């Protein structure tokens, strides 16, 4: 049966999206997160320990590789979003980027599995970030394209639920596959298969030529500057997302090493999987409910502030209660906070976009607030662990950064 034709994109959508569309987009989103977090949680750390040359700590190898990949994602995400804004094909403007991105991402994961040097590992991970970020930019832009304001908290909740399930799935595949190469292959297959229902069954709107941005080098490059003076809400929204994600990235970057070197867990990989599962259960208990509740009361800020404060408290627990029980408690609290933050902050971001014609690019710029912390976190975490007090200092710093981000949400004026 052929899919119904998608409507021409209005400036602001008014027709609610159905469950099938939301489910397919959420599955595609979760599949991409599995492709990222199987490596980030398990596989890259194991590779770094294997490939680190004599005299170079494994933490430094992991920091350099993940930092380079995050730098690639910062460029690729808004660029792919901007190009998808200008794409006009019979398959839509977002779908071609989703399909090409996951095909390339699956291939890059397989290439990364065969890396035999640190340089090869870095190249493979940069290719993974390049391709999967192209797909992710198109997926996030589909929400303001099709979802009305009153439904964005709920849709953001389902996307957030899929995100954490993708993280759990990627971590589980990486752990259970039976080796680094098999783990990468499993993540590649899951990432590709999970996006097919959306790509095959759902069209996306293509605005008429008069309402699409011009595709010239000058207009493309100039569009990336969004003046925080002209659009202060967008600037504050970007900064708050960046700081909260930076605190979260600092907390998670060395989790495998924290379990092995501080808590002395006999099987730190399985410990990461347990903590991820605990985090996922509590996150799933709040991510959809938080989005629905935010839609119902018509407010975003109180939810984001409360979630950020709770995440800061949870990170401080890792610093002050360095036991396995403390880690379990922190994982549960982080799940509650991040669940609400994920859905409501996503809705808040779509509510501050300045122009309908540039949704893909603007969402890509906002997504930099997700990827830039992956560059900044390794640069900060290495010195904090090795020179400035160890993991206790790392986690207290992460808590302070996240708390600052939560408080700055109050500077946003246009969204209650």
Distance CA 107, CA 189 (A): 10
**How do the domains of the chain map onto residue ranges?**
19-204+216-411
Whether 123 has a pLDDT exceeding 70, the answer reads yes
Q: What is the pLDDT of residues 106-115, one digit of tens each?
A: 999 999 999 9
Query: Is pLDDT of 195 > 90?
Result: yes
For residue 337, the model assigns a pLDDT of 92
Count of Cβ atoms closer than 10 Å to residue 78 Cβ: 24
**CA pair distance 65, 46, nearest whole angstrom:** 13
Residue 343, pLDDT > 70, answer: yes
The helix-helix angle for 232-252 and 359-386 (nearest 10°) equals 40
pLDDT of the residue at 313 = 94
Instruction: Specify the higher pLDDT residue, 24 or 261.
Output: 24
- Tokens in use for 8? 């021409």
The residue among 64 and 358 whose pLDDT is bigger is 64
pLDDT of residue 8: 45
User: Is the per-residue pLDDT at 35 higher than 70?
Assistant: yes
How confident is the model over 97-103, as a mean pLDDT?
94
Q: Cβ distance 255 to 274 under 8 Å?
A: no
Amino acid 2: pLDDT: 40
Of 179 and 85, which is predicted with more confidence? 179
At 5, the pLDDT band (50, 70, 90 cuts) reads: very low
Rounded Cα gap, residues 256 and 59, in angstroms: 10
Give the pLDDT of residue 308. Answer: 92
Instruction: Report which of residues 359 and 27 the model is more confident about.
Output: 27
SS3 label, residue 92: strand
Residue 7: other Cβ atoms inside 10 A: 11
Confidence of residue 119 (pLDDT cuts 50, 70, 90): very high
Answer yes or no: is pLDDT of 134 > 70: yes
Residue (of 348, 349, 347, 344) closest to 366 by Cα position: 349
Digit-coded pLDDT (tens) for 345-389: 878 887 777 765 566 777 777 778 877 787 788 788 888 887 787
Tell me the longest C-alpha to C-alpha distance in the chain.
62
Per-chain mean pLDDT for the chain = 84
pLDDT at 144 over 80: yes
Secondary structure (3-state) at 89: strand
pLDDT of residue 34: 94
Encoded tokens for 81: 């979003």
**Cβ burial 356-393 (10 Å sphere, 16+ → b, else e):** bbbbbbbbbbbbbbbbbbbbbbbebbbebbeeeebbee
Q: Provide the pLDDT confidence category of residue 410 given band limits of 50, 70 and 90.
A: confident
For the stretch 220-248, pLDDT in tens is 555 555 666 776 888 888 889 899 989 98
- Are 294 and 149 spatial neighbours (Cβ–Cβ below 8 Å)? no
- CATH class of this structure's domain 19-204+216-411: mainly alpha
pLDDT at 284 over 70: yes
Interval 81-105 mean pLDDT: 85
Say what the pLDDT of residue 219 is.
Answer: 59
- The per-residue DSSP string of 207-272 comes to --GGGSPP-SHHHHHHTT---TTT-HHHHHHHHHHHHHHHHHHHHHTTHHHHHHHTS--S-HHHHH
The pLDDT-based confidence of 10 (bands split at 50, 70, 90) is very low
Residue 134 has which token pair? 């192209």
Proportion of the chain above pLDDT 70, given as a percent:
89
């Amino acid at each position: 049966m052929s899919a119904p034709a998608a409507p021409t994109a209005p400036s602001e959508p008014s027709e609610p999206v159905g469950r099938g569309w939301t489910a397919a987009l959420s599955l595609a989103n979760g599949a991409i997160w599995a492709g990222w977090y199987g490596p980030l949680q398990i596989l890259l750390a194991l590779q770094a320990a294997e490939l680190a040359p004599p005299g170079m700590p494994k933490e430094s190898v992991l920091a350099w590789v993940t930092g380079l990949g995050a730098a690639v994602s910062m460029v690729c995400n808004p660029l792919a979003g901007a190009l998808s804004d200008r794409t006009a094909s019979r398959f839509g403007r977002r779908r071609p980027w989703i399909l090409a991105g996951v095909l390339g991402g699956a291939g890059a994961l397989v290439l990364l599995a065969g890396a035999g040097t640190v340089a090869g590992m870095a190249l493979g991970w940069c290719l993974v970030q390049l391709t999967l970020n192209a797909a992710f930019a198109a997926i996030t832009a589909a929400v303001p394209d099709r979802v009305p304001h009153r439904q964005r908290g709920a849709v953001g909740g389902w996307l957030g639920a899929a995100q954490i399930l993708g993280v759990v799935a990627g971590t589980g595949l990486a752990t259970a596959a039976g080796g680094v190469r098999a783990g990468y292959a499993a993540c590649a297959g899951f990432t590709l298969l999970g996006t097919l229902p959306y790509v095959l069954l759902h069209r996306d709107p293509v605005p008429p030529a008069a309402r699409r941005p011009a595709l010239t080098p000058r207009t493309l490059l100039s569009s990336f500057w969004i003046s925080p003076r002209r659009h202060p809400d967008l600037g504050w929204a970007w900064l708050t997302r960046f700081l909260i994600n930076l605190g979260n990235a600092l907390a998670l970057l060395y989790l495998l090493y924290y379990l092995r070197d501080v808590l002395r867990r006999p099987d730190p990989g399985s410990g990461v999987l347990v903590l991820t599962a605990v985090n996922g259960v509590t996150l799933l208990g709040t991510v959809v409910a938080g989005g629905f509740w935010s839609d119902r009361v018509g407010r975003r800020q109180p939810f984001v502030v409360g979630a950020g404060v709770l995440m800061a408290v949870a990170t401080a627990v890792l610093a002050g209660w360095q036991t396995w029980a403390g880690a379990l408690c922190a994982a549960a609290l982080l799940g509650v906070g991040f669940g609400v933050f994920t859905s409501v902050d996503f809705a808040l971001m779509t509510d501050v976009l300045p122009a309908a014609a540039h949704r893909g690019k603007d969402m890509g710029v906002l997504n930099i607030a997700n990827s830039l912390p992956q560059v900044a976190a390794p640069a900060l975490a290495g010195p904090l662990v090795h020179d400035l007090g160890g993991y206790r200092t790392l986690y207290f710093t992460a808590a302070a950064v996240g708390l600052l981000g939560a408080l700055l949400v109050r500077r946003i004026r246009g969204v209650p």
